[in-house]
Homo-oligomer: A and B are copies of this chain.
Amino acid sequence: MTASHPSKLREPLSFVAGCGLPLALEVMGERWSFMILRASFNGVRHFEEFLDQLGIARNILSNRLARLVESGILVREHCADDRRRIEYCLTPKGYDLLPAMLALRQWGEKWALGVPSNPVLCDARDGQPISAITIRAHDDRVLGPRELTWRDRADLVLGRPVTIPAETVTLLE
Chain A positions near chain B (C-beta within 8 angstroms): 2, 4-5, 7, 9-15, 17-26, 28-29, 31, 34-35, 38, 41-43, 45-46, 48-49, 53-55, 72, 93, 95-113, 115-131, 133-138, 140-141, 143, 145-153, 156, 161-164, 168-173
Decide: B135 and A133 in contact? CB cutoff 8 A: yes
Which chain B positions have C-beta within 8 A of A41? 171
Q: Please state the number of chain copies in the assembly.
A: 2
Select from chain B the residue with minimum beta-carbon distance to A39. Answer: B11
Between A and B, 22 residue pairs with Cβ closer than 8 Å are: A5-B43, A9-B119, A12-B118, A17-B118, A19-B105, A19-B109, A24-B104, A24-B105, A28-B104, A42-B150, A96-B110, A98-B135, A98-B171, A99-B107, A103-B103, A103-B133, A116-B153, A118-B153, A122-B156, A125-B137, A127-B164, A128-B161
Which chain B positions have C-beta within 8 A of A173? 43
Contact partner, A108, options B22, B46, B111, Cβ 8 Å: B22
Chain B nearest CB from A162 CB (Å) reads: 4
Contact partner, A117, options B19, B72, B98, B107, Cβ 8 Å: B19
9 nearest CB pairs, A to B = A20-B108, A24-B108, A20-B109, A127-B162, A100-B103, A18-B117, A23-B112, A23-B108, A123-B137
